[in-house]
Chains A and B, each alone.
Chain A
Amino acid sequence: MNSLTPERITEELQSFQSRLARGVQALTEVGEIETGVSSRDPVYQEDKLVLYRYRPRVAEPHPVPLLIVYALVNRPYMMDLQEDRSMIRGLLDAGLDVYLIDWGYPDAADRRLTLVDYLQRYIGHCVDYLRERQRLEAINVLGVCQGGALSLCFAALQPEKIRNLVTMVTPVDFHTPDNLLTHLIRHVDVDLLVDTFGNPPGQLLNFAFLSLSPFRLAGQKYVEVMDILDDAPALKNFLRMEKWIFDSPDQAGEAFRQFAKDFFQHNKLVKGEVVIGDRRVDLHNVVMPVLNVYADQDHLVPPAASRALAECCGSRDYSELSFRGGHIGIYVSSRAQREIPPAIADWLLAR
């Protein structure tokens, strides 16, 4: 710092202030932030759930539909954020017939929804709808993050309905030493939380994510955005991501209670102790081909948490795909667009 003079710092501060003044103006002029770029049609609806079919981008898409089961804790448009950052577009371009469950935003009427509702009713009905629509015994499923854990439970309970299962950044062992989310929730009185709120607020979950890296996620990025305020497309990309980050649905109370306690606090999934209704989830029943995709720098779902699946699932055709990047990069980085959808499509088309 011995070459950094007070005059130079003053100059930089003045320049920052004038960029800030211009930037606030640019932010007011940026207009509506659109998310979700691929054309899609709703094909099935139940309560707040909507099942969408994305319009195929090849003349004859693969006959076995691919159902994407996204997490409950964020909105699924992360999979289709913008034209050049869309996992879904990549899957469509590779010839797949893609469907996605949008869980919607739970409200007070949903506080009693349990994991039985999410698994047997919602996922079950979407799977059956697609099986009937395509006249197939079984379909392909891509479970993402928490949606991957739900997909594993469904696949263990009704393996005959899943032809191939892809899990992406999916936690299986929630007690690996580097699991920061488990670390944060370990001492939370989940019963008190659910009994107090009914539906735990999305903002609270969002706080947990921000608290993992506050100086970068809640500080530095707002200083860095000053550099792109004159660049409308870059600014829109930033705002699109901001919209997604803070778009955290409240969680249906009873489902959250079981997920937080059984999966995070007691690590029952990997132990084969999760019970859905009156049925135990035994991952050894996951006998269909499995592709487990994880990110090697994932700070939310550490690789070891995902790779634990190798030891406990019953599939004889189990493979892994490691992505060099983090939990968000695997959806939106340009390398992810080049690597992940084609790899998933190749794996599915070969089976």
Chain B
Amino acid sequence: MNNKIHISSSPHIRSKITTSKLMYLVIIALLPTTIFGIYNFGPRSLIVLLSSIVSCVLTEFIYQKAMHKPVLVKDGSAALTGLLLGLNLPANAPWWIGVLGGVFAILVVKQVFGGLGQNFMNPALGARCFLLISFTSIMTNFPQIGSSSATPLAALKAGEAINTKDMLLGFTSGTIGETSVIAILIGAIILLWFEVIDIVIPGIYILTFVIFIAIFGGHGLDPMFITAHLCGGGLMLGAWFMATDYVTSPITPKGRIIYGVLLGVLTGLFRIFGSSAEGVSYAIIISNVFVPLIEKYTMPRAFGPKKGGAKS
């Protein structure tokens, strides 16, 4: 016998795509949004972005060193978390907000639960909600863009006039990354093109949300109202970049649909019936927590065993 027979356990077919390649691809897809954010809000937004990225990467590095674990900072997941967190902060936040958020995202949400692949909710959004609860006034104090410092959603809720064209292009107030729908959609197309994400979760999410708004929004099918809700706030950024996070979204086909519906309904509930104008981050982290349950009840049946006969 020759020695060419190589015995190994499954999986036998391996993709050339690695974790770090995926992470860097998502970071590239976020570049249009990032660049637009810096253009829209000026150089101070760069400080916010850098503080959160550096904080995430350093926290991951220090934690893995201190715990004698392999240092996996180069895979880009911490940098991506930092970038997403920075894009979810207002541009005039002080630098320590980014640092504190980064430490919370990596240490409390990600590493304590076992690191990459083990976090039970999106670290960037977990940290954003932590900051939002802790420093409400800082986190909702948005810089003035154009004539108003109110976010379009807040203006909409207050019954003021809004300009949907500016919202589409992104010349409005809000967090650094959420304003330009066009820039986010360019990133989303990159992700879809390279098959990093599939359209099920964001598609169902947005569809459910539109239906919910049409039924309960009080404006019926008014296209201006629906466009404003679609383009305003963090819906686009959340739907394409954060609800699709591999770790915190279901892997079962049915589960992905349920997850999308849950996201849409929760976002609609928070926006229409909640006291604050925005609810995407809470909708996503609450849905994240439901993912294990959704996966448990939508697990596809193995081929072969009779119904109800196979007990794993």
- Pairing of A with B: no
Could you tell me which B residues sit within 8 Å of A by CB distance? Answer: none
Could you tell me which A residues sit within 8 Å of B by CB distance? Answer: none
